[in-house]
Structure 1
């Protein structure tokens, strides 16, 4: 069997209807002879594994018997794929761009230092009114966790995503390591994805505190792993103060619970943070800080949410 050029990798858990819709939207890609599709089911109880096994013989599917987290599952997918370029998408996200693989190959072939391409993402439960944009291909700090593609030769030179982060932060962890290796992340707006999520409604979900906790601790983990030591106290204190000022003091008391839990996680994982640190020098940090942040949210009028 020849090596597939592209791998489409999807992690999922208990979102079979979202997954079905995504697969219907990318069916024309999955059935290409140069594409392999692999799904990792993180302990679903909604019959996801059996559905894929029985209805999609063209897809490889694996399952954790009990949930082990998004990042664990992403690591396993990247171990399994044999593709040259490994595309990671969320189970509730699909491509609007009809020929994204050709764009991916062109960007990588024209940019030898590029290890990861991050996609343009439209976040909404409805379709965008237009797909036109005026953005340019550019180097950025990091990438979207559920809408990006790796050049696998570069992935193999890095440590795996930190599974003890569980959810959030893995893309920043990789981006810091890439920067240390003189590799680049590029934002490619010509590849448009539709993330079928209501961002306002998400704040009302039952897992909001858990998401806040994991998001906060991931940011603090990254300070302790990669920032120059002299900058950590100031960055940490500023981050904590802004959470209190912008959320807790304005009545979002759920965030206070998340803050306390996240601080506890930092203390608990201090040995891992020390063992896995790969700090930027002050000069490297200044260079990294000059790079634009990844563009996570796109709207047709080019304003952010």
Structure 2
């Protein structure tokens, strides 16, 4: 079957996580042999042998490489622009499906919901797979999605701008969700499809890049606020966002967060020209409708314990 006839494309961006990627591909092997599936891997400047391993062991995978890292948003945009498939599944290199044979349910859901532009999966965050995978949740439209595991209807993707590479890290999911909303298309949470994101959340705060991630998270949230929120809402959201960082972190002794706040504000200032150029602001009515949607379903835990998260709430 020719590339343009593929129904599904599995897209993975990776950098220096060869062992994680190997495990993910082993979990995906039964899907990769299907005639209606292609897999594109973008190696973003790895120096741990990732490119050679994939080239030697998975010759059918469409393998791309940056000699020098250009960032995962660059890689995602490239892969999404190159695939000819109807549906593009984005997976992190440390994530795999726990649901057997997930592709037919995905296709059936898209066909039954023509105004769904993107499907967000149910995600379990943990190094090991959960013993209980049962969920009693129902599909529903939500505000946004998680980057590590979702699937685009490519017709919808081609109707919105590419992910903003100037965000660098974080925020692209909400950017895409807002753009879909402006097109009267929705993000739908589809709990039938369960993914294991092999990340230990409790250890993240102890990682050396914690404050880098925090800075990126703050500035991307502010970028989104200035790009999409009605102007009268922006001051209140900004004050609330900064106050919560002071209240929950700085006033409790994490003084370094004050420096992170200042750096993120500088980032916001220097991004003003890009914000003006790319603004796609919601009307008051659109904003009110958006606010009524449930927040993105980010963390799932067994026994139907679902934790929602939203940047400003």
TM-score, L = length of structure 2: 0.96
In the alignment, is residue 39 of structure 1 matched against residue 41 of structure 2? yes
In the alignment, is residue 193 of structure 1 matched against residue 195 of structure 2? yes
Q: Which of 288, 297, 306 is residue 286 of structure 1 equivalent to?
A: 288
SS of the equivalent of 2:5 reads coil
Q: Which of 184, 189, 212 is residue 210 of structure 1 equivalent to?
A: 212
Equivalent pairs, count = 305
Cα distance in structure 1, aligned partners of 2:190 and 2:256:
36
Cα distance in structure 2, aligned partners of 1:70 and 1:260:
25
SS of the equivalent of 1:232 reads helix
SS of the equivalent of 1:25 reads helix
Cα distance in structure 2, aligned partners of 1:134 and 1:185:
20
Do the aligned partners of 2:148 and 2:197 also contact (CA within 8 Å) in 1? no
Deviation of 1:155 after TM superposition, in Å, equals: 0.4
Cα distance in structure 2, aligned partners of 1:25 and 1:251:
43
SS of the equivalent of 1:88 reads strand
2:236 equivalent in structure 1: 234
2:310 equivalent in structure 1: none
Deviation of 1:304 after TM superposition, in Å, equals: 4.5
1:127 equivalent in structure 2: 129
Matches within 5 A, 1:18-57: 18-57=20-59
Deviation of 1:259 after TM superposition, in Å, equals: 1.4
In the alignment, is residue 6 of structure 1 matched against residue 8 of structure 2? yes
Cα distance in structure 2, aligned partners of 1:208 and 1:297:
19
1:301 equivalent in structure 2: 303
In the alignment, is residue 15 of structure 1 matched against residue 17 of structure 2? yes
Cα distance in structure 2, aligned partners of 1:194 and 1:241:
34
SS of the equivalent of 1:297 reads strand
2:227 equivalent in structure 1: 225
The alignment yields a C-alpha RMSD, in angstroms, of 1.0
SS of the equivalent of 1:233 reads helix
Do the aligned partners of 2:118 and 2:186 also contact (CA within 8 Å) in 1? yes
Cα distance in structure 2, aligned partners of 1:45 and 1:251:
38
Cα distance in structure 1, aligned partners of 2:113 and 2:218:
33
TM-score, L = length of structure 1: 0.98
| Greater shift in the superposed pair: 189-198 or 49-58 | 49-58
Cα distance in structure 1, aligned partners of 2:199 and 2:94:
8
Matches within 5 A, 1:93-242: 93-242=95-244
2:60 equivalent in structure 1: 58
Cα distance in structure 2, aligned partners of 1:143 and 1:161:
14
Deviation of 1:303 after TM superposition, in Å, equals: 2.4
Deviation of 1:127 after TM superposition, in Å, equals: 1.4
Q: Which of 242, 245, 250 is residue 243 of structure 1 equivalent to?
A: 245
Do the aligned partners of 2:132 and 2:303 also contact (CA within 8 Å) in 1? no
Do the aligned partners of 1:209 and 1:257 also contact (CA within 8 Å) in 2? no
Deviation of 1:301 after TM superposition, in Å, equals: 2.0
SS of the equivalent of 1:278 reads coil
Cα distance in structure 1, aligned partners of 2:73 and 2:64:
15
In the alignment, is residue 273 of structure 1 matched against residue 275 of structure 2? yes
Deviation of 1:41 after TM superposition, in Å, equals: 1.0
